[in-house]
Amino acid sequence: MSKLIWGMGSIAVLATAVVGGNLYADKSLNSYYQQNQKSNLLSIQYHNFNMGPMQGSADWVAEFTLDPCKPKDVLILNGTDAIKRSWNGYHIESQIHLKQGNKVFQGLLKQPLTAQTKIDWLGVIHSSLTTPVYEKNEADIQTRIDSMTFKLDAKSKANQLDVLNLKFQIPSLTVNDKLGHMQMSGLEFETNQGLNAVLDKGKTRLNIASIRRTDRNVEQFGSGELKDFALTVNTGLDQHKVDFDTQVKIGEMNLHKTPTFRDFQMNMNLKALNKQKIQTFFDLLEKNSEVCGTKEELNRNLVNSFLAIVNEGFSFESQNNQIKVGDGYAKASLTGKVMPGHQSSFESLVKMAPSLVEYQANVEYDKQIMKTIMKNYLQQGGKNLSDQELEQMLNGMQQSLQAKREGDILKVGIEYKYGEKKFLN
């Protein structure tokens, strides 16, 4: 599924690159449409350019190499641009046809695609593309993907295209197989990070309204639903350091034979990472995706680059984490740091990790969440949980975890330092 999504995303990027990539850097439509572009993964050739005072047209052919290890498995598209000049810039409508592609693209591009692009006089580009409905029916599995929408904002700068923002949406995706039915609805992805092979500040988000699984044999496999999933990653940086702030939220989650979880939230912030070493690691990841072969040296460089980041040391924190079950709740927070080191392999890193990591954690949960979870667990075995048994269990947990009890709430504090753990309450 990820290859399918990013494959179609490539078409959206292509549509923008074709119609306006260097338009304002060259100061001339004519010079732009007379040039050709070529890289390891993409080549574009233009021909039949004709532009009058207010409108014109051009043809092009684009070839994608989807997998560097499969140079013959290429995607080839033919395009025709209809260009109109107006008081506020250019409007370009691109008709895109499939010339060659694998079965996935043959199914997606049974009919031509239309990309709409607007370019203002400052060189800012806004491009959008909507795919047709995709359906695939086989004996054991049936798939349907509603029309996907891709939007891309970019700006021509220094003879190249800087992508400012990328967004795509899938209203609904359904899969039926021998085991049951799965439906995902309301997927939306948007990012303004990592679009130009340069580490920069910004935000990436992924939202899914719901994922529902209904199995035919509920007793054997079970069914469930996840609602209001949201993943957000914020990147902050200065001249030398980088922070990554990640947040995951789930509105509600229902699973077979388990109590309903709701208002789940987990946060993790990695702070003060070395900017140059992070950029080097990302550069190696990109290079790794563009070459084929054993990649032994490249993988070795990736490991060394990752170790260089860890050896630099950094701090981390995870605040305002929570989950609710029934009428009860649990909360947790964590702060800590990884001390600088001199590890030369993953093996030595794992061996030294206990002495390199320091943290302090605080956990808080109430009686009701334990009652709901334990009651559900015992009911699976045909047993009941009395109030007296629940109190005995909580008293045991209070003693073993050295927890502090305030009415129906238990609080646990833990400090880990120099390879040793101690309770703070």
Phi, psi of 217 (to 5 degrees): -105, 85
Contacts of 180 (CB under 8 A, 6+ apart): 213, 214, 215, 216, 217, 221, 223
pLDDT of res. 283: 85
Q: How confident is the model at residue 323 (pLDDT cuts 50, 70, 90)?
A: very high
Q: Which residue has the higher pLDDT, 43 or 181?
A: 181
Question: Does residue 357 surpass a pLDDT of 80?
Answer: yes
Task: Using DSSP, state whether 362 is helix, strand or coil.
Answer: strand
| CA pair distance 215, 100, nearest whole angstrom | 38
pLDDT of res. 10: 46
Q: Token digits for 254?
A: 């229902």
Question: Does residue 218 surpass a pLDDT of 90?
Answer: no
Given the DSSP bridges, would you call strands 124-130 and 113-119 parallel, antiparallel or unpaired? antiparallel
What mean pLDDT do residues 174-203 have? Answer: 88
Q: Which residue has the higher pLDDT, 346 or 235?
A: 235
Q: Token digits for 291?
A: 């070459």
pLDDT of res. 136: 83
List pLDDT tens digits, range 328-342. 999 999 999 999 988
pLDDT of res. 11: 46
Question: Does residue 109 surpass a pLDDT of 50?
Answer: yes
Amino acid at 330: A
Q: How confident is the model at residue 21 (pLDDT cuts 50, 70, 90)?
A: very low
| CA pair distance 135, 117, nearest whole angstrom | 27
List pLDDT tens digits, range 382-424. 777 777 877 888 888 878 878 888 888 889 999 998 788 887 7
| CA pair distance 119, 117, nearest whole angstrom | 7
| CA pair distance 248, 139, nearest whole angstrom | 37
Question: Does residue 23 surpass a pLDDT of 70?
Answer: no
List pLDDT tens digits, range 239-294. 889 999 999 999 999 888 888 899 999 999 999 999 999 999 888 887 777 777 66
Question: Does residue 113 surpass a pLDDT of 70?
Answer: yes
Q: How confident is the model at residue 222 (pLDDT cuts 50, 70, 90)?
A: confident
Amino acid at 35: Q
Across 296-356, where does the E strand assignment appear? 314-325, 328-338
pLDDT cut 70: percent of the chain above it = 87
| CA pair distance 6, 189, nearest whole angstrom | 11
| CA pair distance 227, 376, nearest whole angstrom | 22
